[in-house]
Amino acid sequence: MTDEPETGIVDVRPDDTPMPAAAVEPVAVEAAAPARVAAPRDLPRIMTRIFGTPLLIAQEKLDVILAALGPRLGIAACPATNDKEADLIGALIGLQKPDDEDDDTSVPYAVTDDGIALIGIDGTLVYKSSWLGALSGLVSYADIRGALDKAMADPAVKGVLLAIDSYGGEVNGSFDLSDAIFAARQKKPVCGVAADDAYSAGYLLLSACTTIHVSRTSGIGSVGVVALHVDQSAYDRERGLKYSYVFSGAHKIDLNPHQPMSDPAREALQGECDRLRALFAASVARYRGLSVEAVLASEAACFYGEQAVGVHFADAVGTPADALTALRDRIAKEASCSGLRLAAEAPGIDAVRKAVQTLAEASPVIDFAAEREKLRGELVSTHGEIIELCSLAGRPGDAAALIRSGASLDQVRTALQDKRAEVSDAQRTQGHILPDADTAHHPAAGWDTALAKARGQRSKQ
């Protein structure tokens, strides 16, 4: 024993191996922050984020958190890790762990050689990340959003694979992130896989993905809301404590832990849970193409493997490696379609595209049977007119040849006039009036007689 005052020195060695007294290096308590439980000043903040507020978290996970908090509501911090979030998914699908980069240019995800960003979401989901260094197993919506935004802006990234292993977490920030995932998939495919489980807020994020894979033993779902209230009034009495509130506004001290929950407070909290559940179901329905009624009918149940596919909460049963393969196939197909679109936009075929567009606008649907009947009617009418013209010109025998030649009506008229002119010239050359006609008194009598004779012959025919 010495007379020196105690300095509050602790040994922060990672194991319990005895160490010689001479080798002990005193370390101040303040320097051992990662090994301490949450300080009392942290407890009110933690409590407000867990108690008296709706949570998108599975009940079993909430039980684990409560057990970890203990009677003093303290959480022992795990040693900090320098592993990137992408290391998790990299290990899941058998990729080599990327080299750590300490500079600010590093990205919070791994990228495969063919341009797929791998983002792992592992742990309880929280809104803010300011206290992540003091608590274990937490990941913030802001960090996930940052990784997603970088992947969307990265020209080397062609698609994103989200590997989610989360029982859910806080409401604040969850719907904003799920909407961001849903919007991002309009630019690049964002596929998700439950590795291993994605419940409540974890499933909210997963449901926003382009496609969803779930393994045979993985679980997803729990589309519901839970809120917990702590009534410690009996504990206060046992300790001889009595809290008195001076307040203005009937609901100002609703859900305080030092009084039993009032009926109006319970109704208000229940109403908020119902409202958030309706928002949750509507979001999943929009992301998955389901009806809100079908999502609500799940009653916050969890589904596994083929079960999840059967209720359309997932698209396929498969491992993270299967999800990665499916994403590669999707990207290849979209690239092929994109090539066809680019070819269609080539300048050399502008005229063809315009002609096709004009034709489509003029007659989007062609009735070939009706067009055939219309053409047949036009041909019959044209042929009839040709036969009539030939008959009037006194050349009915020419009608068949003119029809086979495909001549138009104007061309037929011209041809018949030419034939008539040739005949008239021949008649003027060969025809004559004999001198024995009575030309003395009627010079035109011979022409009249010839014309009458010709008309008589035609009438007999």
**Where are the chain's structural domains?**
44-335, 368-434
Beta-bridge mates of residue 121: 164
Mean pLDDT on 41-49? 56
Mean pLDDT on 73-93? 38
Q: Which residue has the higher pLDDT, 175 or 253?
A: 175
Please give the Cα distance from 224 to 267 (Å, whole number).
Answer: 17
Question: Is residue 136 over pLDDT 80?
Answer: no
Q: How many CB atoms lie within 10 A of CB 421?
A: 10
Q: What is the pLDDT of residue 268?
A: 93
**142-161 confidence digits (pLDDT tens):** 999 999 999 999 999 999 99
- Among all chains, which residue has been given the structure tokens 């315009």? 354
> Based on the number of CB atoms within 10 Å of its own CB, is 316 exposed (0-12), middle (13-18) or buried (19 or more)?
middle
3-state secondary structure (DSSP) of residue 186: coil
Q: How many CB atoms lie within 10 A of CB 128?
A: 14
Residue 221: enclosing H or E segment and its boundaries?
strand 219-221
Residue 334: enclosing H or E segment and its boundaries?
helix 320-344
Beta-bridge mates of residue 10: 27
Mean pLDDT on 258-270? 93
Q: What is the pLDDT of residue 397?
A: 81
From 206, 33, 36, select the one nearest 125 (Cα to Cα).
206
From 298, 338, 333, select the one nearest 314 (Cα to Cα).
298
- List of E strands, 54-108: 55-57
**408-449 confidence digits (pLDDT tens):** 888 888 888 877 777 666 555 554 444 444 444 544 454 455
Please give the Cα distance from 60 to 68 (Å, whole number).
Answer: 12
**9-23 confidence digits (pLDDT tens):** 333 333 443 433 333
The encoded tokens of residue 164 equal 């989610």
Q: How confident is the model at residue 359 (pLDDT cuts 50, 70, 90)?
A: low
**294-325 confidence digits (pLDDT tens):** 999 999 999 999 999 999 999 999 999 999 99
The encoded tokens of residue 149 equal 């935004």
Q: What is the pLDDT of residue 60?
A: 61
Superfamily name with CATH number, domain 44-335: 2-enoyl-CoA Hydratase; Chain A, domain 1 (3.90.226.10)
3-state secondary structure (DSSP) of residue 388: helix
Please give the Cα distance from 102 to 106 (Å, whole number).
Answer: 7
Specify whether the backbone of 176 is left (phi greater than 0), alpha (psi in -120 to 50) or beta.
alpha
Question: Is residue 455 over pLDDT 90?
Answer: no
Q: How confident is the model at residue 45 (pLDDT cuts 50, 70, 90)?
A: low
Please give the Cα distance from 113 to 344 (Å, whole number).
Answer: 30
The residue type found at 306 is E
Q: What is the pLDDT of residue 69?
A: 56
- Four-point Cα dihedral 357, 363, 367, 372, nearest 10: -100
Q: How confident is the model at residue 291 (pLDDT cuts 50, 70, 90)?
A: very high
DSSP H helical ranges for 75-200: 85-92, 141-153, 174-184
Question: Is residue 281 over pLDDT 60?
Answer: yes
The answer to whether the CB of 90 falls within 8 A of the CB of 110 is yes
**322-346 confidence digits (pLDDT tens):** 999 999 999 998 877 765 555 555 5
Please give the Cα distance from 29 to 43 (Å, whole number).
Answer: 19
User: DSSP label at 230?
Assistant: -
- Four-point Cα dihedral 304, 63, 65, 8, nearest 10: -140
The encoded tokens of residue 310 equal 């059967």
Diameter of the chain by CA atoms?
178
From 287, 79, 47, select the one nearest 181 (Cα to Cα).
287
**171-180 confidence digits (pLDDT tens):** 999 999 999 9
